[in-house]
Structure 1
Amino acid sequence: MERGGARQALRGLAMAIESLLAEISRAHFPHPPATPERIAAFEARMRWPLDEDLRAFFLHCDGAELFERLPDANYSILSLEEIEAATSRVRLRDKGAREAASWYPLVDCQDSDFVLVDVAHSGGPYPLLDAYHETYPREVRRIVGSFREFLERALTSGNRFFWLEE
């Protein structure tokens, strides 16, 4: 199936996370999976549990680039280790903003722009936020209500930032 045909097949209303993960493995650049032990250690250090979709993603692949490999990837979904490292960088930018305490970098969109996961409401699904480097943390905009929805829209975006086209 051509890439355009794959996009058409993914345009269903609510794809199962398994179908989205299969598409990442088929046509994108997944990293090797995280172990359950690595996930447990991450959750203990970060003090927030992965929701069901994030857990499935990290068990399938501990990070991935969509459409292009780095350094050209618009969508670089961070590994658990990269989330930990990038959190320090983002915290320096948020200058102690109260809301930012529950925001963690999940997708590196390059040029110091991130998509954040908001873990304020434990258990999930967690919403994802646009953290544009010019306005963060003063202006943060909700993109989607879950990681699954983010993957659905990203995988059908043609490598464009779908939330900027709305």
Structure 2
Amino acid sequence: MDPLLAEVSRLHFPNPPATPAQLAAFEARVGWELDKDLRAFYLHCDGCTLFKPQADALYRVLPLAEIRRARQAIRASDEDRDGAPSVFTLVDMQDSDYVVLDAIQREAGRYLLFDAFHETFPEMERIASSFAEFLERALRSGNRVFWLNSEPPNR
């Protein structure tokens, strides 16, 4: 994670870091613990935008205070028919599309990340096996949605 976090700070738009107390308050609010990658990220910066400032950003990693149940963010509902209560927003991709994690799905101690397209949610497509994998692929995407685009970014 360290080289990825250094790149975020050097070339993108990070927020100030979260404090350990903010991480603890977040975990108490949502009822699950951040994994190693997410903990490192949020202690480095409490959210960020990649490639462009916030108003124009395609990739906006949410600050802890804005992470919430995906069904509330996408469907404005807290009913089980509108998505599992364990699925939370992580990255705002604009237009009510998010990258989400399911707090009950982990591999090797890390949360899996999914594409949550607003028109088909609660259906989700797995796009990364960890936040570190997601961040690396996003940073190399050339500001494209890497899981939808097979073309290499313009250099």
Q: What TM-score, normalized to structure 1? A: 0.83
- Number of equivalent positions: 149
Give the C-alpha shift of residue 128 in structure 1. Answer: 0.5
* Corresponding letter in the other structure for 1:127: L
Going by fraction, where is helix more abundant, 1 or 2? 1
- Higher RCO (CA 8 Å, separation ≥ 6 residues): 1
Change in CA separation of 1:161 and 1:27 when aligned onto 2, cut-off 3 Å: same
Where does residue 15 of structure 2 map in the other structure? 31
Q: Distance between the aligned counterparts of 1:104 and 1:91, measured in 2?
A: 13
Q: Distance between the aligned counterparts of 1:85 and 1:39, measured in 2?
A: 17
CA RMSD, Structure 1 to Structure 2 (Å) = 2.1
Deviation per residue, 1:111-161 (Å, 9 max, x gap): 111000111146830000001111111x21001110000001000000000
CA contact (8 A) 1:36 1:59 kept: yes
CA contact (8 A) 1:90 1:105 kept: no
Q: Distance between the aligned counterparts of 1:85 and 1:33, measured in 2?
A: 22
Q: Distance between the aligned counterparts of 1:136 and 1:73, measured in 2?
A: 22
Give the C-alpha shift of residue 99 in structure 1. Answer: 5.8
* Corresponding letter in the other structure for 1:27: L
* Corresponding letter in the other structure for 1:112: S
CA contact (8 A) 1:94 1:136 kept: no
Where does residue 126 of structure 1 map in the other structure? 111
* Corresponding letter in the other structure for 2:120: T
| Unpaired stretches in structure 1, ≥5 consecutive residues | 1-16
Where does residue 73 of structure 2 map in the other structure? 89
Where does residue 140 of structure 2 map in the other structure? 156
Q: Distance between the aligned counterparts of 2:109 and 2:52, measured in 1?
A: 29
Q: What TM-score, normalized to structure 2? A: 0.88
Give the C-alpha shift of residue 102 in structure 1. Answer: 1.5
| Unpaired stretches in structure 2, ≥5 consecutive residues | 151-155
Instruction: Give the match's secondary structure for 1:44.
Output: helix
